[in-house]
Structure formats: structure tokens, C-alpha cells
Amino acid sequence: MLIRFVALFAVFLCLAGGAAAGPTIDRIKSRGILVCGVGLMRPGFADLDARGVWRGLDVDFCRAIAAAVLNDPALVRFEPLPVSRRFDALHDGQVDVLMSNSTLTLGRDARDGLRAVIPNFYDGHGFMLRAEIAGKGLDGMADQPICLTAGSTNAAVAQELFSARGIVFTAVSGGDPADALLKGRCQAIGADISALTSLRAKLPQPEAFVILPQAFSKEPLGPYIRDDDEEWLDIIRWSVMALIDAEELGLTQANAESQRRLSRLPQVRRLLGEEGELGKALRVDPRWAYLMLRTVGNYGEIFERNFGVNSPFKLERGLNSLWTKGGLMYAWPFR
């Protein structure tokens, strides 16, 4: 009787695990579509354009992974998630991967049943202030209402920062921070510098607001998955690194086909699936990196399209440059 009870209880636990149990890639292939959690209207990372098409850096990585796993970048469904729901949606199996410009932290990675995969964008916490108080820097925000997103690392960074300096302020959360800033409910906004840059570009009088030049924290942003699938971790991690490596090798969306056919460089041939068995090791198409490259281009192309000097945000690469150019973007060896 005891043995039977234990067996039944084990079956119950398996059923209760539901969406999170089993290899993720098998569920995706069976379903025929990748479900990608993205930020809720985060210009530059994930946003709908005037035609209702998803655009952004995180969106590009979602399409690239769909190309790698399903051989078709169109086989992806974007699930826009508010900050307060993004990790719950991942836990519950509502999404296969979270590409939601989320900071990779020890607490989330080691404590919350998640796996922080790899940075795909290096950012930092900053503040955007009304121009009339910006000259005082952090002191200009003393006794002022500051818009912060509840539950974000930005809110925690701001609290620690001001507490350490003995600065008292009022945290305001909920609603549209840009609207709150314009209507005077907030005198400043605390967020990632990339988010502040995109927000400022859309304000009716951007010159009336100043983004402080300092970064007040390290915010490595990147994908998360559940912590129950090492194989899926490998696929996501190496997919991001493949597009970084492609940039270093001079491979682009435009030359990927010719380089696949003509290049004699072993590192190019391995990456593009012309020799070796790297794709087999990940259980994806041997040409998985080539398929991603043909879909979205290399990392530099993704950055420039969504955040670069020719985009509305006009961000310099900075820390998001290749390691060979003074940045932090560095791919492990593909061999």
C-alpha cells in the first residue's frame, strides 16, 4: 500500500509540474512555435511599429532563436508582459524564454527557480530630470517625487543609492511615467539609461529634460529561462554568442550566403555549419547560426538597427562594442 501511494504521489507531482516539465525544445517542436516573453511596449527592445509589426533588439533575438530551433523566424509568438508578471509567466510555462530586457542578478538566478543565460545588452541605472533641477545632480531630487517601476531592479538601486547618501525622496509607481513627468506628478524618472533615452526622444519637448551622464549601477540585460533544462540553456546561450562571434568574423546578413559557400576559414565554416557537428550537439539544424544570421544579421547589425546612431535613439555602442574594440561583447570559442 505504501509503495502504491508513493507511486501515485510521484505521478501527481509530474502532472502538477505541467508546463515546466520536460525538455523545452521538444515542446517547442511539437507545438511548432516559439513563445517569447518580451517587455510591454519597450521601444528599442520590443515595441509595435505603425503597421503592428514587432520591432526591437529582444524581438530580433526571439526571431533568431525561432530560426535556429524551427528553421523559420516567423514561427514565434510574442507575449508582451508587464514587469510585475514577467517571471511568473516564465515559471508558469506561459513563455519558453523571457527576452524582456531583464537584469541578470544572483538572486533571480540562484533563488527564484530561474536561469540567467547571458547578457545581450549592457546598461546602467540612470535618472532623467527636469532641466531646472538637473544641475544639482542627485541632490536636485531631494524631497522630490521620482517615478520608478515597482518590482524592478531600478527601484531597488534608487532606494539604496539615496539611502546611502541620506537623500529623502518619494517613490511614485504605476501609470505612464512619461505622462507623470509631463504633468508634474514626478520631477524625475529612474530607469535604465537605454529606456530613458528612448523615452526622452518621444517627449514633445525633449530639451526640457536632462539625462544625468553617470550610470549608477551595472545592469547586464539578457534572457531568462526556467532552471529545469540545461539543454535549452545551451541553445539560448550559444545562439546569442553566435551572433556576437559572427560580427567578430565579419559575417553579416548580406554576406552570410557567399561566406557559407566560399570561405575556407575553419572558424567560419564551423559557425555556419559547413564542417563539424556544433548544431548536432545542440540538437538543432547544422546551419542554425547561418539561419539566424540570414534572419537578423550579426550583433552589431542588431544593435545599430534598434539603438545605433542612425536609429531614433542614437546610442553609441559603448560597453556593447566587441571586446576587440573596448567593449564587453565576447563570444566563447566555437570549436
Give me the DSSP letters along 13-26. HHHHHGGGSS-HHH
Pairwise CA distance, residues 223 & 229, whole Å:
14
Note whether 112 and 252 are same-domain residues. yes
Note whether 48 and 101 are same-domain residues. yes
Q: Which three cell numbers stand for residue 57?
A: 533588439
Task: With 0.85 as the threshold, say if the pTM is over it.
Answer: yes
- Nearest residue to 37 via CA among 107, 123, 114: 114
Report DSSP letters for 187-202, one per residue. Answer: SEEEEEHHHHHHHHHH
pLDDT band at 22 (very low <50, low <70, confident <90, very high): low
- Nearest residue to 76 via CA among 229, 295, 261: 295
Note whether 238 and 319 are same-domain residues. yes
Note whether 213 and 224 are same-domain residues. no
Q: Is residue 280 part of a domain?
A: yes
- Residue 129's domain comprises 125-217
Listed range (9-18, 96-105, 251-260) with the worst mean pLDDT: 9-18
Report DSSP letters for 213-252, one per residue. Answer: S---S-EEEEEEEETT-HHHHHHHHHHHHHHHHHHHTT--
Q: How far is CA 246 from CA 249, 256, 301, 314, in A?
A: 5, 9, 10, 23
- The per-residue pLDDT for range 42-74, each reduced to its tens digit, is 889 999 999 999 999 999 999 999 999 999 999
pLDDT band at 176 (very low <50, low <70, confident <90, very high): confident
Q: Is residue 335 part of a domain?
A: no
Q: Is residue 13 part of a domain?
A: no
Q: Which three cell numbers stand for residue 284?
A: 538543432
Tell me the percentage of the chain whose pLDDT exceeds 70. Answer: 93
CATH code of residue 283: 3.40.190.10
Last residue of a domain, one of 167, 188, 217: 217
Pairwise CA distance, residues 185 & 189, whole Å:
11
- What is the total residue count of the chain? 335
What is the number of structural domains in the chain?
2
Q: Are 222 and 121 in contact (CB under 8 A)?
A: yes
Note whether 118 and 129 are same-domain residues. no
- The per-residue pLDDT for range 204-230, each reduced to its tens digit, is 888 899 999 899 999 999 999 999 899
Q: Which three cell numbers stand for residue 156?
A: 531597488
Q: Is residue 289 part of a domain?
A: yes
Question: Is the pLDDT score of 8 beyond 50?
Answer: no
- Nearest residue to 283 via CA among 209, 321, 324, 232: 232
Pairwise CA distance, residues 180 & 168, whole Å:
20
Note whether 226 and 134 are same-domain residues. no
Note whether 198 and 320 are same-domain residues. no
Last residue of a domain, one of 192, 217, 242: 217
Note whether 168 and 314 are same-domain residues. no
Q: How far is CA 315 from CA 126, 153, 306, 318, in A?
A: 14, 22, 9, 8
229: burial class by Cβ within 10 Å (0-12, 13-18, 19+)? Answer: buried
Helix runs in the chain, H state only: 2-17, 24-31, 57-70, 86-91, 106-111, 131-134, 153-165, 177-182, 193-202, 230-248, 256-262, 266-271, 278-282, 288-296, 299-306
Note whether 178 and 242 are same-domain residues. no
Question: Average pLDDT, stretch 118-130?
Answer: 95
3 state DSSP class of 142: coil
Residue showing cell 506628478: 185
Last residue of a domain, one of 169, 196, 217: 217
pLDDT band at 201 (very low <50, low <70, confident <90, very high): confident
Pairwise CA distance, residues 304 & 310, whole Å:
7
Highest mean pLDDT of the ranges 234-248, 270-284, 301-315: 234-248
Note whether 292 and 281 are same-domain residues. yes
Phi, psi of 241 (to 5 degrees): -65, -30
Note whether 108 and 32 are same-domain residues. yes
Q: Is residue 334 part of a domain?
A: no
Q: Is residue 35 part of a domain?
A: yes
Note whether 112 and 243 are same-domain residues. yes
